Chains A and B, each alone.
Chain A
């Protein structure tokens, strides 16, 4: 059986490889969009005017309370009803990004919120502007608290991206499903898929631990 499975994987390798590439593409796009969105909204919720606080709070709370799968279906089937045409790939990326942004907002809020207010005041007192205080004073200190939960969220994104297979996007998960459909060998193929997800995510969490150690010297 092992030899046979090995043969399936080899013959189907280009197809499975393409699936892995799509999984990585979806993950990378989602990580980038949610980081940009979450950083901007997270900073706004801490330092922004009162008018911004409640909409962001509401967005974050609502989005984090909805199952990801519901959100994916909502975007994919819901947007066309609003006359917005969007491919399965981009619907998946959009839904995952909206979801992850909610989490990044909270991570940013927690990380920035942990910096004592005196740091911001010290930055003001030497004449640093708002952006300069963020870049030179707040972010370098918040990074230590931001990285571990954020890298955790990145591995979650890679795992969560498997849900896009339900929209018919041929990612790693979907390509495995399709090989199984042709070969009727579910167990070895799922093991193969699990192994690949494991390698990606274990690498990320090892990186996370290394970075944590790297920034441990920053103390208040």
Chain B
């Protein structure tokens, strides 16, 4: 009935040496869906996210975005070969990512941070890129900050530039990696409301977070990872409010405890 999922992971395995971080992950994300991944640290949630735009390579299995296999291409002899940097660049351009530590380019202004990908990857003319960058920065509430360097911005403002930089590229899917964990508590709200707005507009997102209220409010689905596998998933209500699984219950209990 539904069209094929925008992001599809099948049997994804990732090892760091002898340590298996992802142990056969299957995940489908439909267009317009907001999938929130929760789990203890070391559960593999960030690694899974980083595999989707191949900041981390995976060893087995398959991840496709809009039908394109991310990590591999078909080899000459029928097998598959890892994609080269050259093949990856245009694939990554269609997958947005926002980082825990913002990772803004410190030598560029807010506007230039957003423009870099537009001019160098999308091949836009400078004036056109400038206009789009200003549009996006205004939409995340930074109309006064086009010319500011990252060092002149607060954490919350930097992260909103980070979001503008990712969405201005017009990505098919947006990956958010604990984007509020490096922020002071009073700055979390301004960043999450931007994400909420994007969710309402139908942006497909995969979100790794520790903010359970946020997971409940914007998630169309919540996925609980444990030991490199998906241990439970379902509607925010099923997973967060009425959990049945023991590990999930104890994880949520610990989180709840911290939040009060």
- A-side residues, CB < 8 A to B, are 116, 118-119, 121-122, 124-130, 132, 136-137, 140-141, 217-220
Taking a contact as CB atoms closer than 8 A, the residue among B90, B106, B169 that contacts A218 in the complex is: B106
Taking a contact as CB atoms closer than 8 A, the residue among A121, A128, A217 that contacts B117 in the complex is: A128
Bound complex: CA of A141 vs CA of B90, how far in Å? 24
22 A-B pairs with CB atoms under 8 Å apart are A118-B99, A121-B55, A122-B103, A122-B105, A124-B53, A124-B89, A125-B53, A125-B97, A125-B99, A126-B121, A126-B166, A127-B89, A127-B90, A127-B121, A128-B117, A128-B121, A130-B85, A140-B107, A141-B106, A141-B107, A218-B106, A219-B151
Bound complex: CA of A129 vs CA of B55, how far in Å? 13
- A125 pairs with B92, CB closer than 8 A: yes
The total number of A-B Cβ pairs within 8 Å is 69
- A136 pairs with B116, CB closer than 8 A: yes
In the assembled complex, B120 has its CB within 8 A of some CB on chain A = yes
User: Could you tell me how many residues of chain B have their Cβ less than 8 Å away from some Cβ of chain A?
Assistant: 30
Known: A140-B107, A219-B106. A126 touches B101 (CB 8 A): no
Per the 8 Å Cβ criterion, residues 80-103 of B in contact with A are 85-86, 88-97, 99, 101, 103
Taking a contact as CB atoms closer than 8 A, the residue among A118, A126, A141 that contacts B92 in the complex is: A126
Q: Which residues of B contact A119 (CB under 8 A)?
A: 103, 105
Bound complex: CA of A141 vs CA of B150, how far in Å? 13
Q: Which residues of B contact A219 (CB under 8 A)?
A: 106, 151
In the assembled complex, B165 has its CB within 8 A of some CB on chain A = yes
CB proximity of A168 to chain B, nearest CB, Å? 47
Most A CB contacts (10 A, CB to CB) among B104, B105, B169 go to: B105
Per the 8 Å Cβ criterion, residues 15-45 of B in contact with A are none
- B105 pairs with A125, CB closer than 8 A: no
CB proximity of B181 to chain A, nearest CB, Å? 14
Beta-carbon nearest neighbor of B90 in chain A: A127
Taking a contact as CB atoms closer than 8 A, the residue among A125, A140, A217, A218 that contacts B166 in the complex is: A125
Taking a contact as CB atoms closer than 8 A, the residue among A128, A141, A217 that contacts B116 in the complex is: A128
Beta-carbon nearest neighbor of B119 in chain A: A136
In the assembled complex, B149 has its CB within 8 A of some CB on chain A = yes
Q: Which residues of B contact A126 (CB under 8 A)?
A: 92-93, 116-117, 121, 165-166, 169
- B99 pairs with A121, CB closer than 8 A: yes
- B93 pairs with A127, CB closer than 8 A: yes
CB proximity of A52 to chain B, nearest CB, Å? 16
- A137 pairs with B92, CB closer than 8 A: no
Beta-carbon nearest neighbor of A144 in chain B: B107
Bound complex: CA of A127 vs CA of B171, how far in Å? 11
Contact with A along B218-243 (1 / 0, CB 8 A): 00000000000000000000000000
Taking a contact as CB atoms closer than 8 A, the residue among B85, B89, B99 that contacts A122 in the complex is: B99
Bound complex: CA of A141 vs CA of B107, how far in Å? 7
Q: Which residues of B contact A121 (CB under 8 A)?
A: 55, 99, 103
Beta-carbon nearest neighbor of A215 in chain B: B107
Q: Which residues of B contact A132 (CB under 8 A)?
A: 120-121
